[in-house]
Structure 1
């Protein structure tokens, strides 16, 4: 780390990098019985033993995006991959991501991708 950085800057960098390491460490998902354990900013804050506001501040300064945005982007990336490379039912993928209902996962996916998981899978299979 740059010696000219303040202690706060170094701390924020360390927190954000540790968060990203834990986030990436949950992927790739290779088995339908491999549920994601860290789903929310508060889950990450708990394992880092810091307040969620401290985590959010560090991640925002480091990445320019909110903690939730970072989590959602990674979820969408992995969900797209699962839809392309597996034949798992949408319900199974929803459960792996921690959604209690498949329609909640579908709503989340459509909000971030612009189409439903079923439509996405159909489009990607045709290509």
Structure 2
């Protein structure tokens, strides 16, 4: 998926088809729904589709994989590692492009260029989207206070967290939680 330009097709075998077909079917159902959170759900499905595609892809042996692919793979691996298992006793430590690039021993501009080239989005956008996914999951799946959620995703101050969330979703974290509870 993120290899050379002329090798951007993933060949699937019959065993791989059900997982990806299921995701496409769920995306179609979501697209046809009138649920006010469908855009968020579709974004999550697309990211899951990318993850599943990478799992079933048969990439060339590591010695023939480009350095660019390694940076992309390492970035997404690090992003997943950094954001999985979030809780308010172990908050996210890295949330800027500069911090991720330093951890990968690459210049932030180069990492941005590589990600933009293959995914269409820069490092900050991927980080922001992942933080928003985690935030939405915490708002829906926990009864944590907004301050606890803010701290767990790397915000020292809850108002800054609320501003970040509203700027990127159009509603406050509290409104998001209430709207989900109203539809559940």
Question: Could you tell me the TM-score, scaled by structure 1's length?
Answer: 0.88
Change (3 A) 1:30 1:52: closer
Runs of 4+ in 1 over 6 A off after TM superposition: none
* 1:1-40 correspondence to structure 2 within 5 Å: 10-40=66-96
Moved more, 9-18 or 98-107: 9-18
User: Max radius of gyration: which structure?
Assistant: 2
Question: Could you tell me the TM-score, scaled by structure 2's length?
Answer: 0.62
The reply on whether 1:50 has 2:50 as its aligned counterpart is no
Q: Which residue of 1 aligns with 2:59?
A: none
Q: Which residue of 2 aligns with 1:91?
A: 147
Greater RCO structure (CA 8 Å; 6+ sep)? 1
C-alpha deviations, 1:95-118, integer Å up to 9, x for none?
A: 111112111100110111110000
The reply on whether 1:65 has 2:65 as its aligned counterpart is no
**Gap regions ≥5 residues in structure 2:** 8-64
Q: Which residue of 1 aligns with 2:20?
A: none
8 Å contact from structure 2 (residues 86, 152) kept in 1: no
**Gap regions ≥5 residues in structure 1:** none
8 Å contact from structure 1 (residues 29, 78) kept in 2: no
Secondary structure of the corresponding residue to residue 114 of structure 2 = helix
CA RMSD of aligned residues (A): 2.0
